[in-house]
Amino acid sequence: MEKTFSIIKPDGVRRNLIGQVLAKIEQAGLRITATKLVHMTKEQAEKFYEIHAKRPFYQELCEYMISGPVLVSVLEGPNAVAVYRDIMGATNPAQAEKGTIRAEFALSIGENTVHGSDSSENAKIEISHFFSEIEMVNSLTKISH
Ligand code: ATP
Ligand code: MG
């Protein structure tokens, strides 16, 4: 069982897409084992995206991520990182495969509706930014479909 970390970004929450995005996550066989709405401060967004600090879009990205509330979630399942990256689709929605979350919902390369961890190691770090152990429901992963 692997964990990954998901964010439904401000454009997704603003356009009432939480339900549709979570439905795609569940349809892919992933379990939502923790979730909540948060409105990040500038400092929290900058810390979360520290790895992108040198990229030209860093400030724009941080400003955008604090432009409204986001839904942060922990997802669990076999190969959760890869499974979620798969259903998210490419960063640029114009290149995202049909049926993926970004192909269906993303507005642009910046406002691309979702974030998903790119490795199991980064998932652990990202989860720890937002959730404590007590907020994650482990027993859910034992329920069979
Ligand atoms: P994420 O990390 O959000 O899951 P990703 O791994 O597909 O997306 P990254 O390269 O890690 O893409 O970029 C992080 C985020 O930065 C993107 O999701 C997007 O919102 C934003 N971003 C990436 N490239 C650009 C760009 N050229 N212009 C503006 N924003 C960008
Ligand atoms: Mg990334």
Q: Is 124 left (phi over 0), alpha (psi -120 to 50) or beta?
A: alpha
Q: Which of 23-37, 85-99, 125-139 has the lowest mean pLDDT?
A: 125-139
Going by the DSSP 8-state scheme, the letter that residue 122 receives in this structure is H
Could you confirm whether 115 is annotated as catalytic? yes
pLDDT of the residue at 5: 98
Of all residues in the chain, the percent with pLDDT exceeding 70 is 95
Contact in structure between 85 and 102 (CB atoms under 8 Å):
no
Ligand 2 centroid vs 142 CA: distance in angstroms? 29
Domain boundaries, the chain: 2-132
Banded model confidence at residue 70, pLDDT cuts 50, 70, 90: very high
Ligand 1 pocket test: pick from 8, 21, 57, 122 the residue with the most ligand atoms within 8 Å of its Cβ.
57
Q: Which of 41-45, 87-91, 130-134 has the lowest mean pLDDT?
A: 130-134
How many Å apart are CA 106 and CA 92, to the nearest integer?
Answer: 8
pLDDT of the residue at 91: 98
CB atoms within 10 A of CB 27: 9
Ligand 1 centroid vs 134 CA: distance in angstroms? 30
110 lines ligand 1 (CB under 6 A): yes
Contact in structure between 26 and 32 (CB atoms under 8 Å):
yes
For every residue of 8-64, which 3-state class applies, written as one string?
ECHHHHHCCCHHHHHHHHHHCCCEEEEEEEECCCHHHHHHHCHHHCCCCCHHHHHHH
- Mean pLDDT across the stretch 67-84? 98
Ligand 2 centroid vs 118 CA: distance in angstroms? 6
91 lines ligand 1 (CB under 6 A): yes
pLDDT of the residue at 32: 97
Q: What is the pTM of this model?
A: 0.94
- Mean pLDDT across the stretch 94-100? 98
Q: Is 119 left (phi over 0), alpha (psi -120 to 50) or beta?
A: beta
How many Å apart are CA 63 and CA 36, to the nearest integer?
Answer: 20
Write out the CATH class of domain 2-132: alpha beta
